[in-house]
Amino acid sequence: MKTRSLFAFPVLLSVISGIANATTYTLPENSNDTVITQFHDEVPLTRAEQNETLLDVARRFLLGQMEIVRLNSDADRWNIKKNEIVRLANRRILPDTPHEGITLNIAEYRMYYYPPAQKGVAPQVMSYAHGIGRQDWKTPLGKTSVVQKVKDPSWHPPESIRREHAANGDPLPAVVPPGPHNPLGAYMLHLGVPGGYLIHGTDIDKIYGIGMQITHGCMRMYPEDIEALYNSVPVGTPVYMVKQPIKVGWLDNTLYIEAHPDLEGEETTPAEKLEVALKLIQKAGAAQSMPEFDQNALKQALTVLDGNPVALYKRLPQQTAPVSSPAGRGSKGGYYHGV
């Protein structure tokens, strides 16, 4: 990103040099609000510690590769100079699912884990970057659960994957033992989905593929993230696998929209994206109360598609949006996939 372009943002605050807890968010006090915030700075920035790549910065802050590339579209992902300013992710809109267990929103290469409530502790959500299935090995959608947990798993590559690797001149053994080059990493969560879909770690050679459409359908995570999830999630935890590239949500009486690009092999037109966005805005209770929301901001969000939540409308504090979705905190209700 060219440094001068940063001044286009309305707020430019302190540069963030480190991160203590990259994935833990406190849920908003208002249970109807669904926008979570990591940093106080509206536009959090960091300086490159040395000549490096955007992937190195993403790794340091536990962000996905496509996520940081989209936020820094003017940057050369392979050539970030020492002290160059890099933009980080900050706000996120929670997917429209029950706030329990794990939600995998494959459209944004990111999962959300809602730990059980603890007395005296504010409700939290943990969010982690992960890789998803390629165009020809799509990650499935629907509700399932964690049915098994394995530490230091061996990998038994399916025959279909062995044939693919053999055709590419990279034959696989029948069993890959635990170790740094095991594609499953050190921890694995087995999901109750036909076909053997997993949430797992990664081998050291593929660690920069986190946050990309690159797997055979499983969800691949950074080593420290899968370790934390493995140690937190019991067998039986519900898992919601959804595809919501466009999300809307309230925070402090401001309505935000967050939009992500289509996955590889999928294509929706600008008109289709706009239709989805307007339906979500209406569902958020805004159709009657905000006839003059920021149309330019909506158009920009649906054009740039960088995953950064954009403010559309600010209501008076005494107004309250109706609860129109069953996906409120602790809800057991249904959900929808978006586009």
Triad 101, 185, 169: Cα angle to 5°: 125
| Residue 120 pLDDT class (50, 70, 90 cuts) | confident
| Residue 2 pLDDT class (50, 70, 90 cuts) | very low
Domains of the chain plus CATH, in order, are: 121-242 (2.40.440.10)
Question: In this predicted structure, what is the pLDDT of residue 196?
Answer: 75
| Residue 160 pLDDT class (50, 70, 90 cuts) | low
**Is 181 assigned a catalytic role?**
no
Lowest-confidence region among 12-21, 221-230, 239-248, 294-303: 12-21
Which one is predicted more confidently, 133 or 316? 316
Question: Residues 6 or more apart from 90 whose CB is under 8 A from it?
Answer: 37, 38, 39, 41, 42, 43, 44, 308
Question: In this predicted structure, what is the pLDDT of residue 336?
Answer: 26
**Is 200 assigned a catalytic role?**
yes
Kindly state the tokens that stand for 85: 């300013």
- Which one of the listed residues 99, 130, 218, 260 is annotated catalytic? 218
Which one is predicted more confidently, 275 or 339? 275
Question: In this predicted structure, what is the pLDDT of residue 132?
Answer: 79
Instruction: Average the pLDDT over 149-157 and give the result.
Output: 84
Q: Is the pLDDT of residue 328 over 50?
A: no
Separation between Cα atoms, residue 130 and residue 198, nearest integer Å: 12
Q: Mapping DSSP to helix (H, G, I), strand (E, B) and coil, where does residue 60 land?
A: helix
Which one is predicted more confidently, 121 or 176? 121
User: Rounded to two decimals, what is the model's pTM?
Assistant: 0.82
Average pLDDT score over the chain: 81
- How would you class 79 by CB atoms within 10 Å of its CB: exposed for 0-12, middle for 13-18, buried for 19 or more? exposed
Question: In this predicted structure, what is the pLDDT of residue 325?
Answer: 45
Question: In this predicted structure, what is the pLDDT of residue 173?
Answer: 65
- Which one of the listed residues 99, 130, 200, 260 is annotated catalytic? 200
Question: Residues 75-103: pLDDT tens digits?
Answer: 999 999 999 999 999 999 999 999 999 99
Question: In this predicted structure, what is the pLDDT of residue 239?
Answer: 96
Q: Mapping DSSP to helix (H, G, I), strand (E, B) and coil, where does residue 75 land?
A: coil
| Residue 234 pLDDT class (50, 70, 90 cuts) | very high
The closest of 266, 249, 267 to 258, measured between CA atoms, is 249
Taking CB atoms within 8 Å and a gap of at least 24, the contacts of 317-322 are 317/253, 319/253, 319/289, 320/32, 321/32, 321/250, 321/284, 321/285, 321/286, 321/289, 322/285
Question: In this predicted structure, what is the pLDDT of residue 15?
Answer: 59
Question: Residues 28-78: pLDDT tens digits?
Answer: 999 999 999 988 767 889 999 899 999 999 999 999 988 999 999 999 999
Exposure pattern of 198-229 as b/e (b: 16+ CB <10 Å)? bbbbbbeebebbbbbbbbbbbbbbbbebbbbb
